[in-house]
Amino acid sequence: MLKSESLNNVLENKIVSYENALQIYQDAKFNPSELFSTAQNLREKFKGKTVTFSKKAFINLINLCKDTCTYCTYKAEPGEEKLSLMSKQEVKQILSLAKKYRCVEALFVTGERPEQKYQEAKDWLKKNGFKSTAEYLVHASEWALEAGLFPHTNAGNLTFDEMKELQKTNVSMGLMLENVSERLSQKGMPHYLAASKRPKARLEVLENSGKLKIPMTTGLLVGIGETPEEIISSILAIKKLHEKYGNIQEIILQNFQPKPDTKMSDFPSAEENYFKIIVSISRIIMPEMNIQIPPNLSPKSYQSFLSVGISDWGGVSPLTPDYVNPEFSWPEIKKIEENSKNAGFDLKCRFPIYPEFFSFISKELRDKMSVIENEEGLVKEEYWR
């Protein structure tokens, strides 16, 4: 029996209210051990002793972006060395190389509707034979499937029709909610110059993904100046969507790390104990959810998060860098496996879609997956190693 009545209620499968979650947070600030043990208990109850990852290639299609976030180094401006405007040939070359490395996921990432702001983006699209970035993504996803990889697109606030078209080739899609706080979009705050990060806009896209039955990855950015109340509200907003549509396949909890040459370069990184409390609270609010942290953003301690509720490492690439966090290299998969094993967990490779969401996708996509799929619905060990 735990001292916390709220946590005892969690272990009895009672629903965690906003008030409960906030009280649990306040208690954990002084002593998080009961929260951590509860989260670990739930994680093992629903996810066992397996921790998963997706072996991916990060395809940085275009990193011009019409928005500006004060913490972002992904976005490029015309003429910058880091500018990415990938031709059809370059996309196909990286897909071919990814197949040789036995990657499973083709992660397609772009800036937010770059053609609405930059003539360079319009010219690039026209040169490649497309009217929009979304149209290019549709074709690139088809090439990924032909190459034997499985597409997962994260391209900002796509429309209902754009997602419906991409659904034909993408086994899952992604959009970070980041936070439901309107305050973070006010002047002087991180999302002030990023209209696409307005909570209503993000929630509408996630709502549309539910209507379309697209397995969806979403998540929160932790440590950008949010309050505990705001982050708990954000977790509950994701839970509400999932209860309505059942299509949220995983939650990414990404700890803020300051980037050079950004307005938030002197802002402190997310404090680790605070981050662990948020991870654990996410687990107790959504006990059966697939919850991940990126191992490269906690390079010295990521394995310790296995004891506070996570069940997945997200996408890890043996081939391409993390273009969103270029200063943080992905750990080698062998090292992740070693650290996971030392913590008492077996590392297994998954598709960009979790087995419990297979019924959401077409027979054509399932047939393609079956070539490298094992009896658990994961990737055959002899393939990914």
Counted residue by residue, the chain has a size of 385
Amino acid occupying residue 11: L
pLDDT digits (tens, 9 = 90+) for 199-242: 999 999 999 999 999 999 999 999 999 999 999 999 999 999 99
What is the band of 114 on the pLDDT scale with cuts at 50, 70, 90? very high
CA dihedral 368, 372, 374, 376 (to 10 degrees): -60
Write down the mean pLDDT value for the chain: 96
Q: CA nearest 191: which of 203, 180, 206?
A: 180
Residue 279, SS3 per DSSP: helix
- Give the mean model confidence (pLDDT) for residues 31-55: 97
CA dihedral 227, 233, 239, 240 (to 10 degrees): -160
SS3 content of the chain, % helix, strand, coil (to 5): 45, 15, 40
pLDDT of 306 over the 80 cut: yes
Give backbone dihedrals phi and psi of 146, rounded to 5 degrees, phi first.
Answer: -60, -30
Give backbone dihedrals phi and psi of 152, rounded to 5 degrees, phi first.
Answer: -140, 115
Task: Answer yes or no: are the C-beta atoms of 20 and 9 closer than 8 Å.
Answer: yes
- Give the mean model confidence (pLDDT) for residues 264-285: 96
> Residue 351, exposed/middle/buried by CB under 10 A (0-12, 13-18, 19+)?
buried
pLDDT digits (tens, 9 = 90+) for 172-202: 999 999 999 999 999 999 998 899 999 999 9
DSSP category for residue 150: E
The pLDDT of residue 5 is 86
Sign of CA dihedral 34, 40, 42, 45: negative
> Residue 97, exposed/middle/buried by CB under 10 A (0-12, 13-18, 19+)?
middle
The pLDDT of residue 192 is 87
pLDDT digits (tens, 9 = 90+) for 68-81: 999 999 999 999 99
What is the percent of the chain where pLDDT is above 70? Answer: 100
pLDDT of 96 over the 90 cut: yes
What is the band of 1 on the pLDDT scale with cuts at 50, 70, 90? confident
Amino acid occupying residue 180: V
- Give the mean model confidence (pLDDT) for residues 79-108: 97
- Give the mean model confidence (pLDDT) for residues 46-70: 96
Cβ neighbour number for residue 31 with a 10 Å cutoff: 11
Residue 255 is inside which H or E element, if any? strand 248-255
CATH number of 23-384: 3.20.20.70
Q: CA nearest 178: which of 161, 194, 160, 158?
A: 194
What is the band of 4 on the pLDDT scale with cuts at 50, 70, 90? confident
- Give the mean model confidence (pLDDT) for residues 302-331: 96
CA dihedral 45, 47, 49, 55 (to 10 degrees): -170
